[in-house]
Amino acid sequence: LTYDVYYEYINPELKMRRERLRKLFFQVVREFERRNQPGNGATDEAGEKADEAGGRRVDIDRINSCMGRLLERKYFESVPPEHEIISLATAINSYTSDRSIATDDLYQCVNRCVASNNIEGVILLRVSKFFTGVFALFMGFLAVFLQTLGFSLGWVYMTMGVIIGSAVGPASITILMEKANGMFVGAGAIGGLIIGLIGWFTKAKVDSDEVTYDSLGKDWPWVVGNLCAILSGLFIALVGSLAMPDEDFKWEQLNERIPLVDDIEPPKDAQETDDKLQTQVKIAIGASLVLTFVLLILWPLPLHGSAGVFNESSFT
């Protein structure tokens, strides 16, 4: 998130540089792709279909000429050192099939191996360290400031459930539901906050006949406020998304819109298949159900049945 903000708003020139280099790379490589080679009989229409099918490939014999042209067009900041050239050759060989390499794979190889041309990783590390320090200083100041005003840490902690709890449901909907409606997701977070505050203040007023720091800090007002915030936020986001689903968004669009550091996709484990991920999902669901059963039923109920309602001595 820190890098996204920096990349989009604080230093947009970095984004412009990446987009310029990306466009330049594919413009140059297009001259060396199989479908553009003379005598291959490929028409423009066939070339477009090959693009759509991900069929753009470059023959290994033309890689050196392609790299030379990229250097001429100032794609590289400087001539890559020898060890990066060796690393690039090794990476290209690993992606080679039928004496050729896919254009997208070639782009990944160049970005991953020619580190001297990548500057975003260094910037990301510097930005992350800076904002980590800023966050630590701000939170320390905020804790001291609230304590000075008389707000205990426990009171603030429980209140945060009312304030941010309304975003839990909408956030879950955005992750689990492809057709989640962005307008109702936002409305759920804001509406849940309002309803949570109303429930919190109302319960404090009903129980104590006043709304004060002490009355708001009792257990039941917090319980009511948290439940109102969480459930109402989820209800608004879910019902709105079901009533007016977003038909345009697809999960695949995330790969195109999320910025990658140095425009390099993180390497995947060779065993990271869809079947393996589905198995891990099932394991996570099973573990969650078992843990819920143990913590809420298997552990406390026998203790309650044997000792009844716990008194103070039961915890000491």
- Determine which helix (DSSP H) or strand (DSSP E) holds 58, and give its type and residue range: strand 57-59
Tell me, what amino acid is at 18? R
- What is the DSSP track for 132-155? HHHHHHHHHHHHHHHHHHT--HHH
C-alpha to C-alpha distance for 198 and 195, rounded to whole angstroms = 5
Contact (CB, 8 A) for 48 and 35: no
Residue 102 forms beta bridges with which residues? 57
C-alpha to C-alpha distance for 93 and 257, rounded to whole angstroms = 29
Average pLDDT over residues 117-138: 82
Residue 46 has pLDDT above 70, yes or no: no
Q: How many CB atoms lie within 10 A of CB 222?
A: 19
Contact (CB, 8 A) for 129 and 6: no
Contact (CB, 8 A) for 47 and 36: yes
Whole-Å CA distances, 177 to 121, 216, 233, 265, 285: 32, 35, 15, 25, 17
* Lowest model confidence (mean pLDDT) among 112-116, 192-196, 233-237, 289-293: 112-116
pTM over 0.85: no
Q: Which residue has the tokens 């941010």?
A: 164
* Lowest model confidence (mean pLDDT) among 62-76, 92-106, 122-136, 276-290: 122-136
* Lowest model confidence (mean pLDDT) among 92-96, 202-206, 262-266, 268-272: 262-266
Average pLDDT over residues 77-97: 87
Residue 52 has pLDDT above 60, yes or no: no
CB under 8 A, 24+ apart: contacts of 178-183: 178/249, 178/250, 178/251, 179/241, 179/245, 179/246, 179/247, 179/249, 180/237, 180/241, 180/245, 180/246, 181/237, 181/240, 181/241, 181/244, 181/245, 181/246, 182/246, 183/240, 183/244
How many helices (H) and strands (E) would you count in the chain? Answer: 15, 2
Tell me, what amino acid is at 201? F
pLDDT in tens, 215-224: 999 989 999 9
- What is the DSSP track for 236-273? HHHHHHHHS--SS--TTHHHHHS--GGG-PPPPPTT--
Position 231 scores a pLDDT of 95
pLDDT in tens, 248-301: 888 777 766 666 655 556 555 566 677 888 888 899 999 999 999 998 888 878
C-alpha to C-alpha distance for 255 and 265, rounded to whole angstroms = 9
